[in-house]
Amino acid sequence: MKTRMRASLVSLMMCLVTFSGCLQLDDEKGIISEEIVSPNGIFVTGPDGFAIDVPSMPMSFVFSDVGEDGPEPSIGITSSGCIFFIALEKPMRSCDYGLTWENSRDFTQAPFTSDPYGWVDPVTDRVFNIHMMGLESTWIGWSDNDGESWLGNPHDSGTTPLNDHIKLATGPWVSDGYGIPGSLSPIYDEAVYFCYNKGLGIFCFTSFDGGATFELGGQIFGLATDDGGLHGAITTAPDGTVYVTPRVETPAVIFSKDNGYSWDTRTMGEDVSTPNPRKNSEVATDTDSNAYHIWSGADFGVYMSRSTDSGESWGQDSIRISPIEVISTTFPQIDAGDPGRIAITYLGSENGSELGEPDIDEVNWTGNPHTANNNVHYHLYITYSLNALDENPIFHTVRVSDDPVQIGSICLNSGDCRDIGGSNRNLLDFNDLHIDRDGRVYVAFADGCTGTCASGNNSQPEDSRSKTGGVYYLENGPSLYESVGDLVELIME
């Protein structure tokens, strides 16, 4: 059961793995061809998801209970160390490394909000907290003092309603596009990007005044109009490239090199497609502007394609991040530090059954969380790679949640959910992962199995309908910034 007090927070120290079996290398890939036995919940794998003969990376993680519901959470960390967890209608803040949380919502806010999204500008420390106001406009709020006070304005989505799946991010200004410098010279250090879907389209806007107004932008045409509206998070690179991931069959990215003035598209990894129900793939960029795109593939593993030329070209052979033992995944999120140093989180399951509901044929369950059997347990996983740009990268994965995050199916489509003891859409559409200025990883997630569900020996899907906000962060282990080295436990002064 997930411990709820920091004094006894879960510590998942990964010791050196003892391997057994016949360790014969594949001459072409240098990958172990026979089964390797690893400690429970710890995996060291190569680019095909199979175990390799490499010691596991020593890491430990801290868990913190946010104390509020947290489906579709966003997380960000300011330079002072304050953690912001934004989900539902309450922006939660912890300035003592998750020991305590408080509601940072003492500001003028829209009378009715939903589908919130949060972002912390890593350059200016501005905290953004945006909310849908019905389906017609978005409230965009921001704070420059760690959430002590807030300002905000509504952004009207136009004459046609359906402003949904709102996202926001910041990134560097470039010299092209909107005529910078010139009459539209920015008055805020970073470009602020705001995207949402309307119908089947993606609409993206750029703010020159720190998010107060979004006068320039509009619909992105091309691949983004092909059922691409339910897009993933916005990501920006140090060279100013902006990425948005559309919801399309073949993994793809939409990107702009001129602060959103124009957009282009690239597809990748056609060997592993991405069916439409999994609508939140994500891109991360490192300090050299290399890009890493991850998604849940057709076999429901987590896959990645890489670009070393700012999104212009991508590898056509996808790399599997998740271990083959994890047969079902959803909600993959990623962040990066220095080149090749990345961290990924996702919900995954290592178990299945041929027993299904009478009205659904699950004898040949494919791993789709949307139709998972009632005895399938989903946990939270965190994967690290410190050489993700290599031909044969190594992935270190740990199952960090000691009890399930969800039992049974996870609804992935808002209009098509199984109703088994209450809606199984309690987790909604995504989780989040970001790093702080030291390269320490923080993961925000919604926990669907708490209380008696977590402690029971025979908990059922109908017991797994909560949506409690939780955070895991790295306690001891490698920073994603090479110069920082190994991080140690955070101690309050």
- Tell me the CA distances in angstroms from 296 to 46, 249, 405, one per residue in order: 17, 11, 18
With 90 as the cut, is the pLDDT of residue 54 above it?
A: yes
Domains of the chain from N-terminus onward: 6-487 (2.120.10.10)
Report for 68-77, 348-357, 414-423: range of highest mean pLDDT: 68-77
261-281 pLDDT tens trace: 999 999 886 555 555 445 678
pLDDT for position 400: 96
pLDDT beyond 50 at 121:
yes
Please tell me the least confidently modeled range out of 57-66, 93-102, 353-362: 353-362
pLDDT band at 31 (very low <50, low <70, confident <90, very high): very low
CB 205 within 8 A of CB 217: yes
Interior/surface letters 274-309, b for 16+ CB within 10 angstroms, e for the rest? beebbbbbbbbbbeebbbbbbbbbbbbbbbbbbbbe
Burial of 11 (0-12, 13-18, 19+ CB in 10 A): middle
Q: List residues bridging with 347 in a β-sheet.
A: 330, 380
**Which position has the higher pLDDT, 491 or 119?**
119
| Higher pLDDT pick, 470 / 12 | 470
**Residue 20 clears pLDDT 50, i.e. is over it:** no
Helix or strand (DSSP H, E) at 398: strand 395-399
> Over 90: is that where the pLDDT of 222 sits?
no
What band does 104 get if pLDDT is binned at 50, 70 and 90? confident
The neighbour count for residue 242, using CB atoms within 10 Å, is: 29
SS3 459: coil
**Amino acid (1-letter code) at residue 135:** L
pLDDT of residue 250: 78
Number of other CB atoms surrounding residue 314 within 10 Å: 20
Burial class (CB in 10 A: 0-12, 13-18, 19+), 429: buried
